[in-house]
């Protein structure tokens, strides 16, 4: 049995989830319960479906086949078998299982959608989903097999199959076990589906939305680290803080750019390194990778904030089909088409790639003595030592890989279901590919962190700002100065771990009054 008493309870108000609440659900920090105000709508929509199932009129998804088979009428005695067969036949995913965090979000998002009271499922269906989330049940959901239209059919079928006591789940160690055994271990009873319920569970965008939200939450600390490390690089290269003057950014008016410039001013404030070259420096302007950071990363931040709003709307949406209304109508439509998620994920991909791309350019600048005026390849004895020469090559390879991964997935479409579903979104892949891209950016920023700290060492005894010296000390507690060539891969891994954790959290105490970078709306 799972123990949930240590976690606070989040009362889910269908249609009103916030990003903060979604992040808590994603992390498994809370248990769920449905706001009692939702119960009347759930019961009303279930009654509408039950009445349709008992009637003579053909109603899609209730007493007909699915997709191209929508014109095939199903006898009343076969309606339960229809739903069961639907789940079994659609559980056709391949690839590595989705992570526990993504599966948690899928469960939570499906609960939130069904509880809006427009899907026609019985209250017990939603209760079983809530119980599965609260118990920590992790259905084994292959990560490939959805085109993001007619819903995320295969992933959501694998989720539902496990609730039925079929298929597999993942245990605490990540090993696959029979779903029936997992249900029994958690004291859960297998779910038996009635009319329309299987369709309601697998129609919808909850897999692609969960994957995209997972990427959003995962990238947040990496993006914050990119700002901190970018500021450290400015000081390591003895760059100017003039390009961060608020008057410049106010004239353009782009909110992300304004906010990023403000962060750089905060991070660099009080740097003795900056004071040391205010006068007598013959350089007129810094390279773009230094002075255009607000313009580039700020634009990326705006894209990510917009994506967050789109995904928040989708997390609160009803996206199955047909939809049920209190007046007794069952209306077929296309809310399961995940184009909003696909376009948001594609925008995220470009933004993620650009954060890494400009960071790679900063590493290239640091190792170039002509531009940075630091020792070649950041080593005291270049020639005998290669220093950061090949670490930069690794960063370049990661940045180049992200260029290919950033190609928009939403512009592709292959017709499926005998041309019934003739345009699809590819949202699930669009969101899934963000994970490897974020890993690549964490690698680039980790290498930049090592390089920037190495550059700061060459400027001693001058000190950077209080905030950036804390970042430097955090790294040096893990990774010493590279005095001569050594095995650098473990150093990169340690730096990447700091980047993924989020370096901004380490310095907030040194930056009084600094707001959160992320806009949780």
What is the rounded CA–CA span in Å between residue 349 and residue 409?
10
Instruction: Pick the closest to residue 391 from 493, 469, 500, 503 (CA basis).
Output: 493
Distance of CA 235 to the CA centre of its chain: 31
What's the rounded Cα separation, in Å, for the pair 116 and 179? 28
C-alpha–C-alpha distance, residues 518 and 520, integer Å: 6
- The answer to whether residues 273 and 469 touch, using CB atoms and an 8 Å cutoff, is no
> End-to-end alpha-carbon separation of the chain, Å?
36
**Strand duo 94-97 + 142-144: pairing:** antiparallel
Helix H, strand E, coil C: the string for 338-369 is: CHHHHHHHHHHHHHHHHHHHHHHHHHHHHHCH
Q: How far apart are CA 421 and CA 470, in angstroms?
A: 55
Burial letters for 32-55: b for 16+ Cβ neighbours within 10 Å, e otherwise? bebeeebeebbebbbebbbebbee
The rounded distance, in Å, linking the Cα atoms of 236 and 4 is 48
Q: How far apart are CA 343 and CA 321, in angstroms?
A: 22
Which one, of 519, 428, 427, 352, lies nearest residue 18 by Cα? 519
Contact 36, 115 (CB under 8 A): no
- Is 290 in contact with 365 (CB distance < 8 Å)? yes
For CA atoms 93, 94, 98, 102, the dihedral sign is negative
Nearest C-alpha neighbor of 472 from the set 486, 456, 488, 485: 456
* Nearest residue to 449 via CA among 483, 488, 487: 488
- Bridge partner residues of 168 (DSSP): 178
479-501 as b/e, with b when 16 or more CB fall inside 10 Å? beebeeeeebeebbebbbebbbe
Radius of gyration of the CA atoms of the chain, in A? 26
Tokens of 447: 């290498």
Task: Scan for tokens 């996206």, then name that residue.
Answer: 319
Q: Choose, from 60, 133, 263, 472, the residue flagged as catalytic.
A: 60
Dump the DSSP string for 149-191: SSSSHHHHHHHHHHHTT-SEEE-TTS-EEEHHHHHHHTT-PPP
HEC sequence for 380-447: CCECCECCCHHHHHHHHHHHHHHHHHCCCCCCCCCCECCCCECCCCCHHHHHHCHHHHHHHHHHHHHH
Contact 307, 212 (CB under 8 A): yes
Specify whether the CB–CB gap between 133 and 56 falls below 8 A. Answer: no
Active site residue 60: yes
Catalytically active residues, by annotation? 60
């Amino acid at each position: 049995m799972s123990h949930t008493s240590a976690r606070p309870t989040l009362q889910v108000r269908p249609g009103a989830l916030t990003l903060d609440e979604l992040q808590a659900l994603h992390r498994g920090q809370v248990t769920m319960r449905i706001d009692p105000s939702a119960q009347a709508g759930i019961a009303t929509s279930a009654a509408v479906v039950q009445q349709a199932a008992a009637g003579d009129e053909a109603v899609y998804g209730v007493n007909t086949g699915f997709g191209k088979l929508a014109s095939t009428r199903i006898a009343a005695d076969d309606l339960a078998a229809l739903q069961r067969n639907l789940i079994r036949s659609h559980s056709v995913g391949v690839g590595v299982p989705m992570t526990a965090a993504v599966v948690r979000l899928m469960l939570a998002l499906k609960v939130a959608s069904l509880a809006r009271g427009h899907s026609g499922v019985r209250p017990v269906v939603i209760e079983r989903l809530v119980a599965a989330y609260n118990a920590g049940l992790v259905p084994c959901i292959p990560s490939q097999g959805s085109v993001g239209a007619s819903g995320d059919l295969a992933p959501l079928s694998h989720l539902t199959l496990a609730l039925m006591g079929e298929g597999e789940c993942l245990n605490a160690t990540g090993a696959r076990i029979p779903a029936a055994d997992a249900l029994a271990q958690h004291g859960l009873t297998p779910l038996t589906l009635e009319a329309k319920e299987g369709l309601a569970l697998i129609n919808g965008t909850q897999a692609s939305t969960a994957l995209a939200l997972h990427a959003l939450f995962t990238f947040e600390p990496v993006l914050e680290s990119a700002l901190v490390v970018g500021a450290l690089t400015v000081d390591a290269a003895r760059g100017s803080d003039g390009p961060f003057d608020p008057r410049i950014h106010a004239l353009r008016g782009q909110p992300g750019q304004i906010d990023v410039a403000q962060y750089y001013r905060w991070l660099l404030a009080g740097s003795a390194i900056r004071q040391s070259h205010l006068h007598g420096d013959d350089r007129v302007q810094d390279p773009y990778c230094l002075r255009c950071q607000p313009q580039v990363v700020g634009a990326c931040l705006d894209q990510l904030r917009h994506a967050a709003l789109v995904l928040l709307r989708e997390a609160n949406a009803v996206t199955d089909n047909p939809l049920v209304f209190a007046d007794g109508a069952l209306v077929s439509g296309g809310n399961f088409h995940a184009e909003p998620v696909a376009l948001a994920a594609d925008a995220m991909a470009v933004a993620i790639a650009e954060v890494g791309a400009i960071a790679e350019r900063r590493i290239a600048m640091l190792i170039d003595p002509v531009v940075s005026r630091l020792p070649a390849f950041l080593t005291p004895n270049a020639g005998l030592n290669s220093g950061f020469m090949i670490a930069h090559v690794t960063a370049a390879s990661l940045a180049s890989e992200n260029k290919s991964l950033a190609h928009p997935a939403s512009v592709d479409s292959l017709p499926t279901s005998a041309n019934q579903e003739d345009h699809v979104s590819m949202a699930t892949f669009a969101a899934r590919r963000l994970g490897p891209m974020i890993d690549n950016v964490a690698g680039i920023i980790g290498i930049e962190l090592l390089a920037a700290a190495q550059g700061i060492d060459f400027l001693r005894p001058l000190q950077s700002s209080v905030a950036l010296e804390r970042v430097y000390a955090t790294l040096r507690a893990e990774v010493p100065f590279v005095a001569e060539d050594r095995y650098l891969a473990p150093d990169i891994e340690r730096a990447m771990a700091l980047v993924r954790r989020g370096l901004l959290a380490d310095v907030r105490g040194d930056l009084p009054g600094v707001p959160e970078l992320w806009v949780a709306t």
